[in-house]
Amino acid sequence: MSRKPVHLAVYNTLADWEPGYATAYLARTGHEIRTVAAGSPDTVTTVAGVRIKPDLDLAELRPEDSSLLILPGADLWDTGDDLAPFARTARAFLDAGVPVAAICGATAGLAREGLLDDRAHTSAVSFYLAATGYKGGERYVDADAVTDGDLITAGPTEPVAFAREVLGRLGAFEGEKLDAWYRLFHDSDASAYEVLES
């Protein structure tokens, strides 16, 4: 049986650095990465000006066809409701038992959708999410990245910790190798390279 693809949400102003470690190392361990955008645009443009041609439209995405939905941060999460359809899709994924990984502004989108009210989570800072008016403040964890069941969250300065949680959740790396991967990329621990190569 073939592995289901990982879906990376793409939209204008996407923060390039946030999903990069996760998607690169998922791909290196045999996971297909497919990009998904809302409204079938020909291209989306990241905050760095990189143009991405999406693989499919959000309306076509079904949880049963995916192994994970990654929601990167973007300026648009905080400037209106343009990205709300992605948060609604995240609800459908979580309801179906398919993991969702959100970083930075995407956590605010999930907060507005009510998806953080009953789950442990993190973000940039607690008051960033509090400004959304959500009801999950007591579940906020001051940590680099947090996994609660099928939901992974992280703040904008923690793409490596975010990737660690994603890679572990999908079994790309486990145990000692996952720890070594994190030590190599987060702490520049050269000794971890030997573990990864073993």
DSSP letter (8 states) at residue 13: T
Give Cα 188 to chain centroid, integer Å: 23
- Contact status, residue 173 vs residue 162, Cβ threshold 8 Å: no
Q: 159-169 and 175-187 helices cross at what angle (nearest 10)?
A: 170
Q: Which two tokens stand for residue 23?
A: 């998607």
- Contact status, residue 189 vs residue 33, Cβ threshold 8 Å: no
Tell me which residue of 26, 104, 37 sits closest to 68, measured CA to CA.
26
25 conformational bin, left if phi > 0, alpha if psi -120 to 50, beta if neither: alpha
Q: Which two tokens stand for residue 28?
A: 């290196």
Q: How many CB atoms lie within 10 A of CB 63?
A: 20
Q: How many CB atoms lie within 10 A of CB 25?
A: 18
Please confirm, yes or no, whether 39 is among the known catalytic residues: no
* Catalytic pick among 58, 98, 104, 115: 104
List residues with catalytic annotation.
104
